[in-house]
Amino acid sequence: MPEGRPSGCPDGRAVGENSVGQLLARVGVLVRPLAKNDPQQIGPFRIIGLLGGGGMGRVYLGRAADGRPVAVKTARSELADERGFRARFAREVSAAQQVGGPFVAPVVDAAPHDDVPWMATEYVPGVSLTDAVHDCGPLPEHAVRLLTAGLLHALTAVHAHGLVHRDLKPSNILLTAEGPRVIDFGIAHSAADTALTTTGTALGTPGFMAPEQLVMTGPKVTGAADVFALGGVIVYAATGGGPYGNADPQVLMYRTVHEEPRLDELADFLRELAAACLAKDPELRPALPALMARVGAPGPYGDWLPEPVAVQLRSLSAQLSDPRSPAMFAPRTPAEEPADVPYDRLPTRTTADGAPPPPSYDVPPPAGTPAPPQPATAPPGQYGPARATPSPDGYGPALATPPQERHGPAPSPGPHAVPSDWPPGQTASPGRPASPGPSRRRVLAALSVVGVGAGGGALAWVLQPDGGDGGSGKPSGGSKPGGNPSAIGTPSNRLPKEIRDKGIVTIGSDIAYEPMEFVRDGKPAGLDVDLANALGRELGLRVKFVNAVFDTLLTGLHANRFDLVMSAMTDTKDRQEGRTDGTKTGSGGVDLVDYFQSGLVLVVRKGNPEDIKAPRDLSGRKVAVQRGTFARDLLGQLNRQVPQKLKIREFDSPEDVYDDVAKGRSTACLDDFPVAAHTAATRAGGTTLELSGEQLEPLLYGVAVAKTNTALRDAVREALDRLIRNGEYAKILKKWHVEDGAVERAVVNEGS
């Protein structure tokens, strides 16, 4: 047992009544009542409780005018008078404002130059990793994986702005129902600046500080220091102790510089991961993209935490009347629902009534459209949106295991799935296809639609004769809601009054599926983004994208956080009826305005030298596929139906799949149509690949609209019809090399 490991819940899995009772008892002290000397109001926020305090100051729970909970961090008055303190506090505000994303607590307002400096961030009910491990012992391995995946994305967002957090540690990580959140940017600093010190003392937390932070004459502190700290967090979460034990700070600093970390109690995967992160030499630590490929994509976070921690979160959420905890997803009005945070959020200040404008990716309104009324905002000032130069891509060699990305589904988060369009502000390596992420789109729908059992409908295409339609999936029309061809008129006339008056449409999206929606140069890009912008022009609206985890998009739609969801979402009966795994979710269903079709497709070398036109032609051939994907499952079924078994060559990363075909080692590969088409057309080294045959088992992608919002649904459908008729829709598809995914007209709920 590591030094200082708590005795409760020793294996992190068994949960007794006593441990749950102890946690419930602690909920009451997580938010403590205010003392006589505590403020009742800070800036625009009413203070309702005390969350915690320390040597730097106090953190209060507050509420904005619209009821949104916030955490307000204040500085001690004596510190505020210290020379240079306000500049450092303003720098913390600036650092925190630059960084956004679902795994970072965003700043909603700040006043570093008030008599008592303060900063307010969005508050999500959560418990620190320190408290969670103290109360119940180490987290189970699957929870540590999900924790690490979220932290990697948070650090990616930090480093994309040229910042280094410098103090990633368990107490600065909140465990929430939606995943981990990184807090406290008190000593975050630009990677381009010299080491941040105070009177010659390095800032950070011994036990999690990198050796270069402790040795003043050592290498410059870069993002690699955060990777080292991440290794320490992994060890702590999995074992209950730090990588160098628990001892006096001086002892921990000595061990960090001169001794090896204590990793014996870690499971094999976590031990290898932590060891790589904790390398003494920063140049030998893996870069974030390599770690992300190793760990996998974040989520789903529905039940990721041990039960006693989940009990604590549910109780705290109920105490705050906040729905964002397990089994508490009742829709709320916009005034009640905390704002979502876009991936690359710009700094904002609150409006006059204390509510921040919804952070988003803005798209300019169409020419000639009057600018919608905007809430008054204060200028960003010295802690505004200026961005530093991005950090270098990496710090040293990748892990021994190659990057493991996936195009399709994974049964659970693991070491094989990650979208390659992260980190933000960076594009995929030239010639390398970007991964569209885990099982969020195609398979969540496909498994329920076509089935994967041997002899089931999923392989109806295998023995189709040449000349068949290959399951084109073209919309067939019918009496769907809003499914009639749109009438000639102005789509904007159909808009709900509140959206028309506001002049803005907010679109929720998981921006991690190239070429449909991904991040390029720090901004959303892709077919969905271009099409959304075109729809906005037709409707006379400005488009705002809000980034969110895919599995939470429809919940956010029903909670009025978004007006629409556009994220390569498959149109299925379950989604239309508000079902998950055939069971009602408690949220209403959605209407989907279908705009694209995507199935699996074969990719071969240019010229198709082996004349592969259909799956049956693969009999006895070598076929490349990404491990753990839906395409891999279908190839396994095909093996039971062809005369000679396929020689399936599995790879962990999509680039290896395409390389294998391009070099002639495999005859073909099977992949999602938009990924395959875009990769074949843009791959570095020339167009050495091409698609062959029809799309297999195509599914429709739709723009999701709440069932109750028929006016918005019909406006979107009519605007899409106009784009199809005037040719702009075709131009957008051609730009992304996916013309074969076109639909003939705009229809609603054509999925099955």
Provide the annotated active-site residues: 167
Give the residue among 15, 5, 13 at the shortest CA–CA distance from 265: 5
How many Å apart are CA 489 and CA 494, to the nearest integer?
Answer: 9
| Cα Dmax for the chain | 82
Measured in residues, the chain has a length of 752
Give the other-Cβ count within 10 Å of 7's Cβ.
Answer: 8
Is the Cα torsion angle 486, 489, 494, 500 positive or negative in sign? positive
Give the residue among 673, 652, 657 at the shortest CA–CA distance from 738: 673
How many Å apart are CA 195 and CA 212, to the nearest integer?
Answer: 10
Do residues 158 and 100 lie in contact, with contact meaning Cβ atoms separated by under 8 Å? no
Map tokens 């073209």 to a residue. Answer: 474
Q: What is the dihedral of CA 32, 37, 41, 47, to 10 degrees?
A: 0
Helix (H, G, I), strand (E, B) or coil at 700: strand
Q: What is the dihedral of CA 125, 128, 129, 130, to 10 degrees?
A: -150
How many Å apart are CA 20 and CA 305, to the nearest integer?
Answer: 13
Give the residue among 19, 20, 96, 32 at the shortest CA–CA distance from 59: 32
Q: ω before 300 within 30° of 0 (cis)?
A: yes
Instruction: State both tokens at 632.
Output: 């891999």
Instruction: State both tokens at 387.
Output: 């961005």
- Residues in CB range of 453: below 8 A, 6 or more apart: none
How many Å apart are CA 383 and CA 373, to the nearest integer?
Answer: 25
| C-alpha to C-alpha distances, 462 to 409, 604, 697, nearest whole angstrom | 21, 18, 10
Do residues 716 and 688 lie in contact, with contact meaning Cβ atoms separated by under 8 Å? no
- Residues in CB range of 225: below 8 A, 6 or more apart: 164, 166, 209, 210, 212, 213, 282
Judged on CB neighbours under 10 Å (0-12, 13-18, 19+), 276 is: buried
Query: 335 φ, ψ to 5°?
Result: -70, -25
Do residues 506 and 360 lie in contact, with contact meaning Cβ atoms separated by under 8 Å? yes
